[in-house]
Structure 1
Amino acid sequence: MAVIIETERLLVRSWTREPADLASIYDMYSRPEVVRWFGNMVPLSAPEQAVEVLRRWALRGSRDGWYDIWAVERRGTGQVVGTTMIKQLPGPDDRTLTDDIEVGWHLHPDHWGNGYATEAARALIDREWAHTATAQVYAVTDPGNEASKAVTRRLGMSYLGRRTDWYGGEEVDAFVLHRPTTH
């Protein structure tokens, strides 16, 4: 289990095929209140499906492992509270990756409202600014997902409007954060 980032309260780390991680994936993504914002994804209906989720996420990684989808764990407890990601956005055909970089998050409902999404996403954005020349980072949300829109505001992102040029042409609300200028 490789730790990518540590924050005050969280570890952002690789997902594993260990039973505890697979159980966390199943528990989170079997909940209708979580997956309702993911386009046409339906809740997982069997624990064995967590392995397939990990396989699909591995296919979304890019650029020599720099971009990926990771577990978010509370420091000192080992408790997984959600998922965070920074990755290339899929294009309008949903099979090719664009050069646009997306930050994202999915949290277990038991951990909503604690600031974990903002904390994990901020750490990934800071990592991006520190180690790449990326000019801007995007976030996309389902148009009805007010909680995720609130996270984008806390991150200081600007609303770009409705877009259909990512995720297979699905209509999403798009947000952007530009690299800070240094003086």
Structure 2
Amino acid sequence: MTIASTDRLLIRDWTDGPADLAQVFDIYSRDEVMRWLGGGSGLLTDPAQAAERVQAWRNRYAPYAGRYGLWAIETRDAGQAVGSVLLKPLPGRDGVTPTDDIEVGWHLHPDSQGHGYATEAARAVIEREFATGTSQIYAVVMAGNEPSMAVARRLGMTHVGVRTEWYGGEELETFVLRQPA
């Protein structure tokens, strides 16, 4: 199912198809991607884990009926997923319980970085969420992840410092974008 689209991209559900599962494994088995996602926990080590990961995403976001999720970013020209974009309630200090704060995030294959895909995909899901009446959206980034901080800035997000109220109290560089008046 397509969630959003731009001139260059489709934002859609990850599927159980061989191409998607191969790409999920290729992205989430890389240290250079996973080190920025909770310190690398969840690194895939076997291609069979890709189907489990996609199913876990479906299960986690099913209660939100498509409003929140972790979706594939597909380029229209190649027709292949290049990464993921997410929109979800930030988990609180316990690392699990959803808060009222909404997060946007992105995970791209290293070969697909530097083409503006993360910014474009994030902008599409942010606009979609703002249309529901949400007043602000956060991006949280591990210290040292300069490329992700640059994406947040390109989105027009304001850096509000290091915050610790989400993801079990982890220190995260925090950016916010408020709904335009």
Q: So what's the TM-score if we normalise by structure 2? A: 0.94
TM-superposed CA distance for 1:42, in Å, is: 4.9
1:70-81 equivalences in 2 (<5 Å) = 70-81=71-82
Which deviates more from structure 2 when the two are superposed, residues 54-63 or residues 76-85?
54-63
TM-superposed CA distance for 1:39, in Å, is: 1.7
CA contact (8 A) 1:36 1:42 kept: no
CA contact (8 A) 1:60 1:87 kept: no
Name segments (4+ residues, structure 1) moved above 3 Å: none
Which deviates more from structure 2 when the two are superposed, residues 54-63 or residues 82-91?
54-63
Separation in 2, partners of 1:91, 1:125: 21
1:95-134 equivalences in 2 (<5 Å) = 95-130=96-131, 132-134=132-134
Q: Deviations over 1:14-52 (max 9, x none)?
A: 011111111110001111111110123153111011122
Q: Structure 2 vs 1, CA of residues 57 and 134 (structure 1 numbering), >3 Å: closer, same or farther?
A: same
**Helix, strand or coil at the partner of 1:44:** coil
Separation in 1, partners of 2:11, 2:42: 26
**Helix, strand or coil at the partner of 2:64:** coil
Q: Deviations over 1:36-94 (max 9, x none)?
A: 10123153111011122223323432533311110000014221110001111111112
Q: So what's the TM-score if we normalise by structure 1? A: 0.93
Q: Structure 2 vs 1, CA of residues 139 and 117 (structure 1 numbering), >3 Å: closer, same or farther?
A: same
1:24-103 equivalences in 2 (<5 Å) = 24-40=23-39, 41-61=41-61, 62-103=63-104
Partner of 1:10: 9
Separation in 2, partners of 1:14, 1:178: 26
Structure 2 alignment gaps of length 5 or more: none
Q: Deviations over 1:127-181 (max 9, x none)?
A: 1122x11110000111110000000000000111111111122111111000000
CA contact (8 A) 1:32 1:42 kept: no
Percent of aligned pairs with the same amino acid: 57
Partner of 2:153: 153
**Helix, strand or coil at the partner of 1:176:** strand
Structure 1 alignment gaps of length 5 or more: none
